[in-house]
Amino acid sequence: GKAESESPELVYLVTGGCGFIGEKIVELLSQQDYIKEVRVFDSGAREEEKIIPVMKGDIRDYNLLLAAMRGVHVVIHTAAIVDYRNTVPFWEMKAVNVGVPGGQGLQTKSRYDKHLPAPSSTSTVTQHLAIYSRGNEDTKYSGEVELPYGKTKAMAEKLVFEANGKKLNNGGKLTTCIIRANTVYGEKATFLRDLYLFAKARNDVLNYLEPENTERNSTYVGNVAWMHVLAARHLQLRPDLLAGQVYYCYDDTPRKGFLVRHQILSSMDPSIRLGSHIPYWKMWLIIHLHRIIKVLLYPFWKPQPFLNLPLLNTIVTTFSYETDKAFRHFGYKPLFTWQESKQRTAQWLKAAAGNLSCPHLHEKEN
261 pLDDT more than 90: yes
Quote the radius of gyration of the chain (alpha carbons, Å): 21
Whether 62 is covered by a domain: the verdict is yes
Residue 10 lies in a domain: yes
- Predicted local distance difference test score (pLDDT) of residue 97: 59
The CATH number for 333's domain is 3.40.50.720
pLDDT-wise least confident of 91-100, 107-116, 243-252, 269-278: 107-116
Q: Is there a domain that residue 362 lies in?
A: no
Number of domains present in the structure of the chain: 1
**Residues catalogued as catalytic:** 149
Q: Which pLDDT belongs to residue 81?
A: 60
Query: How many other C-beta atoms can be found within 10 angstroms of the C-beta atom of residue 165?
Result: 13
Categorise residue 86: left if φ over 0, alpha if ψ from -120 to 50, beta otherwise: left
Residue 349 CA to its chain's centroid (Å): 19
Q: What is d(CA 333, CA 352) in angstroms, rounded to the nearest whole number?
A: 29
Does residue 42 lie within any of the structural domains?
yes
d(CA 244, CA 165): 8
**pLDDT for 193-214, tens place per residue?**
989 998 999 999 999 998 888 8
Residue 102: pLDDT band with limits 50, 70, 90: very low
CA distance 284 to 162: 39
DSSP element (H, E) containing 42: strand 35-42
Q: Which helix (H) or strand (E) holds 15?
A: strand 10-15
Residue 230 domain-assigned (yes or no): yes
Compute the average pLDDT of residues 25-49: 84
| Helix 190-201, helix 338-354: angle, nearest 10 | 70
Q: Residue 127 pLDDT > 50, yes or no? A: no
CA atoms of 328 and 161, how far apart (whole Å): 21
Instruction: Classify residue 280: in a domain, yes or no.
Output: no
| pLDDT above 60 for 84 | no
What is the phi/psi pair of residue 219, to 5°? -135, 140
Q: How confident is the model at residue 335 (pLDDT cuts 50, 70, 90)?
A: very high
| pLDDT single digits (tens) 285-330 | 998 998 888 888 888 877 776 778 877 887 878 778 888 999 999 9
- Give residue-wise pLDDT tens across range 151-161: 666 777 777 76
Could you list the residue range(s) of the whole structural domain that residue 326 is in? 2-185+219-251+319-337
Q: Check residue 45 and give its pLDDT.
A: 63
What per-residue confidence (pLDDT) applies to 207? 92
Mean pLDDT, residues 109-123: 44
Question: Which of 76-85, 139-148, 307-316 has the least mean pLDDT?
Answer: 139-148
83 occurs within a structural domain? yes
Residue 359: inside a domain, yes or no? Answer: no
